[in-house]
Every structure is written in C-alpha cells, then in structure tokens.
Structure 1
Amino acid sequence: MIEFVEQGNKKNLILFIHGFGGGESTWENEGNSFPKLLAADEEIKKNYDIAVYTYFTKLLNLYQKAQGFGTLLKRLFTTSHGKLVKNISIEEIGDLLRTEVRFHLQNYDNIIVIAHSMGGLVTKSAIIKDIEEQQNSKIKLFVSLAVPHLGAEGATFGKLISSNLQIENLAPLNTFIHQINDAWQKTNLRPVTKYFYGLYDDIVTKTSAVPIDKEKSDAIPVDEDHTSITKPVNTKNTTFIAVKKVILDFENSDSGMSDYSLQTLQNEDEYNDEIFVLKLLSANIHKTSINSSKESFLNAEYIRKKFSSTSDQKRLAELYQKIRHIYQDSYSKYVHDGITNSGLLLTDVHEKIVAEDKKFLEIFIPFINAIHKKGMLHQLANRENENVWWVKDGSMENLLSLIDREEK
C-alpha cells in the first residue's frame, strides 16, 4: 500500500494518492515522476519524506458498447496494478488509508496529501472518519488535483458499461458524494485544502474540482488536462512550482507544521493598562488569577498573529463565538447567584474551557489548546464593545469612573 520514494526518518511526510484506474504511473512522465521531483528538491527533502499510496482499482465488466466512449474513459480510467482481486468502495479504500496511517506511518507528526481525482475522495473519506471518531488526523494539508468533489460526468457513462462500486461512487448524484461533501462543509476541523484544476480538463470541470466552501485564494487553475496535471516533466512546470510553494507557505506560516512553545510573561506589570486587566482588578480578582489570565492572553495574542490566513481566521471566529457562549452561560448563573462571587465566576469559565477543549471547542489548528482558549476569553474582554465582565453592573462607564477614583 505504502511505497517510499524518499525515507529519512523525518517528522513530516508528503503522501501521493492516485485516482481511479491509476497507480504509480499516474505520476510518471518521460522517465521522471512528480514524487521524485519533490524528493530531489533541496527545500523539500530537508523536512519531508516522500511516499506513494497505491490501491487496487480497475475498470471491470466492459461490454462492446464501451467502444463509443473509449477516448473519454481512457483519460479518466488509466493503468492499474493487480494487487487485489476486486474493486472496493471509495469509503473502504479510505478506511484502508487510515489503517496505513495508523500502523505504517505512525512515526510521522504531519502528513501532506497530494491526491488526484478519486484519490481526493478517498482522502476526504479518511479525514471525515477521523473527525467523526474524534481522532486527530495526521493529514494537515490536502492538495487536491482535479478531484471530482461534486462527481465526474465520465462516471455516469461508466455506469452504463460497468458494474463497479468506484464508478458508482464517482457519479455526480451518488449518495456517497452528497454525504461526504455535506460532512466536509459542516466541520471546521478539516485541514487546509488547496484546489487545483486543469483549464483543459473535460473530465472533472472547475465546478466539481473547486467546491463552494473554498476561499478564492485556495482555487488554483493550471494549464493542464485531467491527466497531465499529475505529470510535471521537470521543476519548471507550473503545477510543480505551485504545489511546492503551497507546501512551503503552509509550513512557514499558519499550519500545524511548526512547534510553537508557550510564551511566558517577562514581568508581572505587562498588560496592566489593558482593558481586560482593569476589568479583573475592578472585580477584586486575586493577583495570582490575574497573572494567569495575562499569560493566557499573551499566548492567545501570539497565536492570533501566527494564524492569519483567511481560512484560519474563519475558524478562529467560530471559536471566539463558542467561548463567548461558555462565558454567557456562567455569567447568567452568576447574575442569578448560582455563582457567589467574581473569583468563582472566572474560575468557572476557565474550568469549562478546559473541560470543552477537545469537544465543543475543538478546532483544526493543532497548537491551540486550553491555555490559548482561556486567553481568547480575555481577548474578548479586552474589546470595548464586548460585554465580558466579572461584576454584575459591568460597563465601560462604570469602569472609567472607578479608574478616575483610584487615580485621585
């Protein structure tokens, strides 16, 4: 299933996954291959191992009337290898991929998948299963090469001539396509995804290759068709250059590829003039709790600056909303004396954030943990237009009056 092109015990892996009817030949061109080109690149090979995931896939039960669709099908359904005796569904291939990742690739912290055509659906199926089973997926970046996210019209023709689970799964109106897209769009735990599509691809059109949930910057057109998009002849090829840049940009900016250590306060007077600290002081919160809140705020600010892409900002916005919801629940109890004082209110909110870190507050940005999320609570409190207070009559007017009295 897994064949290595470059293996040097690195913590990151680039994994190629072919599509229907494909195999290692999917990536080959004039004696070279996409995986080998990446493995030879100096910037890539210092941080990544390279491997290819292969599975059995073959067009079966062909009849004479297939002749009329020969040209179309050749482009969608190419070579195969005889590893297994029958085709299985895309979902089952995704399950096999999860098994390989779990047992064969367990030493890797991060996996970048470059998937072509049906291989992209295999990848999505595996990721969705991880999310549904509340497992942290090792797949941190998904490079989608002409993947039929909304189905492939060629599969509709294929159904007329072949009884094949994989062809059925590829059909535009297939239940599998609908279910996996629905799950993909509803979760904020999916990895960063870049959607490549060929301008000359009449098998998987742009409409199918670039789903509606993507950001504009995530859609990348290239001067290729459905087959050539996987076969850069050399490192000057646009697809190769673009895929390499996507990987390096991901690694260097807002991905799960770097080890961000927790930040610590340089001195206890940091942030003394910030609104969130003044709110805590006005509620007579203990100094120890205030210093802990400052440090959480520092780490949340660090994360906010690091994760600045549009897709991550959308995920963070959802997370802020959930943290606000947790605070509002506790504050309602406080107002009705279910919580007796401000210190206990702060503790209650912090404890709920820790308890919900891996459930309600789960987010697909690996470094964001409970400390960052507690800091995000105080980021909200630091905004003048946010009603995050630790006293029952909290308002900016009352806070400013208190500050004036203290200064006098």
Structure 2
Amino acid sequence: MIYLDNGATTFPKPEAVYEAVDFFARHKGVNAGRGAYKSAREATAMIARVKAMLLSLIDAREQAEVAFTPSVTIALNMVINGLKWQAGDVVYVSPYEHNAVLRPLHLLKKRIGIRVLELPLDNDLSIDLNQTAEMFDKEPPKLVCVTAISNVTGYVLPAREIFMLAKEYGAFTLLDGAQAVGLLKIRFGQVRADAVTFAGHKTLYAPFGIAGLYIKNGVDLEEFIVGGNGIKAENPEMPRYMPAKLESASMDSVAIAGLEASLHWLKGVNPWEHEGKLVRQLLGELKQIPEVILYPAPGDDYCQAGVVSFNLKGFRANEVAAILDYKYDIAVRAGHHCAGLIHRHLNNKAFDGTVRISLGMFNTKNDIDKLISGLKSIDRNVLKNIDKDILRGNC
C-alpha cells in the first residue's frame, strides 16, 4: 500500500515507537500515579519526562504546563468547556476549523446562547487580517479558535497575527495544533496562545491514545471531565490546581512510552523539509493534468504544508479515492475531512468534497510518481467492480 492519508494519522510509525510500545506494555505497563511500587514509580517518572520533552519541543518551559488526554478532540472539548460562558459571548473561528472545535461550540450555542462567527477570508482564501480587526472592534471576542494548519488545503494560518489582534480585547486564544505540533516550529511565547492542543498520533508520530494540551501558566479552566487521578482520593472534589484538575482517569502509559520514543526520533529528522520537497513535486505534477482542479493553500511555499486537496473532472471525490485504492493500492482520503466550513468556500459541492493527499516522513518521490501515473490513467469502468457501499461512503 502507498499510504497518503497522514492527515488522519501518520503511518507507519518509526520503528523505535513500535519497540517502545511493545517493551513498555510487556514490562512496565502498570497504572502510573496509583502505587508506590517500583514499576508504578517508573511509569510516573516517564510521564513527567515526556511532559518536559513536550515543553521543550515548542519552547514552552517556564511558560506553560502540559495536561494529557486520550485524544485531541477531548483536549479541545476540555478547553472550550472549561471557560466560563454567558449568553451572548462571542467566539470567532477560522473557516478552516475541524469539527472537534466546531461541534463543541455548536453545542454551547444551543445550550447557552453563545455566538459563533467566522473569520473573514480574502479572495485567495487567506485570512483577511484587516477585516478581522474591524470585526473584533465591532464585536469583541471572548474566545478565538484557530487551527495551525488546515487539514483540507495545508494552509498554514497566521495564528500569531490573529491572536495578537484578539489579545487587544482580552480574548482567550486557542490554537489547534493537531496537524502542526512536531511539524511546524511553534514557539509558545511568540504565538500568543493561551492553550495549544496536540495529537500524538498525527505529526508527532506517536500511537493513538495520547494527546493533550499546553496551557499557559496562570490560566485556570473549569473541570469538564472528572474522576480518579490518584490525588486525595478521599475528597470528592478534583484538585484545585492546574494541570492536575484536568487529568482524570488512568493514563495510557503505553501510548505515552511510544510518544517518548517518537519525540526522540523527531530530533533527528526534519518533517517540514521532507514534506516540502514532496508537496512541491506533487503540486507541479498535478498542475500538468488538465482534468485536475486544485485547491492549494494561499500564499507562498511557507504557507503550504504537506496536505493537498483536488478533484478530477467527471468524478466524485469518493470515486477517485475508491479507484486509487482498488486498482493501485493507494490510500487517500475523500469527502469533507470533518471540516465542513471551508468546503463552502472551495465551491466543490458537485464533487461531494475533495480528494486529499496528506504526506508524511515515510512517503517518497516514488509514491508521488505512482499516484500521478494512476490519475493519468484513471478509468471510470473500474467503478463497476467496486462495492456500491464504498462508493456511497463519504467522510
């Protein structure tokens, strides 16, 4: 299989990650923070060590703390629901946001009556900072949510510039780093975020089951998910201090061991440079196919991560993905990618979304060559051999 769906999860993982997960599960996979015996102490120490590595990764030492969660969706829910809301509070989101942000906000809109507004786009679908400033002035924000990288077009959003504008009104700023932490060089102090979320299984090349958030020192969130965490178990209240008040339930110490291995591995590679070379090749080749409709990121190369969306004239997005899988064993993503707002601006309703290529450290030039060859020779007659349930699928 040629795997080109790294935006969903990076695959494969570095060999060191598989080895660390296997070793820890077999020899150290006990419940951290729940016992005074040696293995429990070692698991607890490992978790503290990984948090320190994560703080170093985005230059957040002495500026923030890390709270672990089972997924970035839970991390985003904890931040959004951890704020104190009143009816009429204004939230701004970029049109590139994922449903992990949009759906919690939609629920608050229904239950409390908050208002959710979209940041404005320029003609090239970049964020219009001048209009953004005008909107903030007319309707000051309580919360501003921005994804670091679009999981649809690969656009690197101007998060710092947006957050600097938001801070003029005292807004809470939330950066969704699911597609970015480990790939982009994020500096916590410069980006002006109060919280940055991350997903271990994406650009950090760790296993599923470990994610979390960086939370700025001095920021306090209300508890959203509560339960046991091994601290003062006789007290029905969660600890009152951060980040312990955000961490309930047993930690997935096996996944965290895999994250530790991936963080060591990332020190010796440059994913941004590797993906950059491949995405430039991919875009150049796709532009040579007359039937291809491209949806590139606006701006220069710095604004384009290794995620590219396109469509093929005469095919629905899911049909292209199904043929590539069936005939060429090439795995891509088709549909709306859990980010419905931006597809309205891409004007791709006739295609039912887009075909998305998302690159990773283990992709090669040869993968791109085979993809392009498959697209150039794609045959609609192949569809009759593919299960109709697959062709109806969309996500």
Bin the TM-score by the shorter chain: under 0.3
More helix by percentage:
1
TM-score by length of 2: 0.26
Structure with greater Cα Rg: 1
- Higher RCO (CA 8 Å, separation ≥ 6 residues): 2
